[in-house]
Amino acid sequence: MTELILDASVVLKWFSPAEEPHSNQAREIRNSYRAGEISVTVPSLLFLELLNVAGRRWGWEEDALAQLASALDDLGFDVGEAELVAIAAWTSRGLTAYDAAYVALAESRRRPLMTDDEQILSLATEVAEALAQDH
């Protein structure tokens, strides 16, 4: 089974109330995950990022955020964490520490990081794969 590391830019599209660029590709990954064709690993940071976007950008209220939190728990993702030293190394190359956590996790697992984040794609070419490309 293929293991992917997903970042918030991908999983966010699973819950977005509006159509976003590359939403179809994100939903294809979701469908593959639900069908048991791939496994997904994320840092625990992902859940906080998704709640933050839903609350601050989308303006969701407490009940909707609670439902999102429950849905995130139900996803059953494998949760892994990278070493802080590896995160620091990627941060020194220009990524935020948050983005570096995804990249460092992918690097440590020797698995691709699926992302729609242009900065990650430009700085972490050895582990990051664009959501928009064909797989």
pLDDT tens digits, one per residue of 104-135: 999 999 999 999 999 999 999 999 999 986 44
Question: Is residue 101 included in any domain, yes or no?
Answer: no
Q: Please state the domain count of the chain.
A: 1
92 in a structural domain: no
Domain containing 117 equals 2-80+110-130
Residue 105 domain flag? no
- Determine which helix (DSSP H) or strand (DSSP E) holds 115, and give its type and residue range: strand 113-115
Asked whether residue 104 is assigned to any structural domain, the reply reads: no
- DSSP string of 14-35, one letter each residue: HH-SS--TTHHHHHHHHHHHHT
Say if residue 70's pLDDT is above 60.
yes
The two structure tokens encoding residue 20: 């976003």
> What pLDDT, on the 0 to 100 scale, is given for residue 18?
75
Task: For residue 15, tell me if it sits in a domain.
Answer: yes
Cβ contact 99:7 at 8 Å: yes
Give tens-digit pLDDT for 40-60.
999 999 999 999 999 999 999
Find the distance separating the first CA and the last CA of the chain, reported in whole Å: 15
The enclosing domain of 7 has a CATH number of 3.40.50.1010
Would you say residue 7 has pLDDT above 50?
Answer: yes
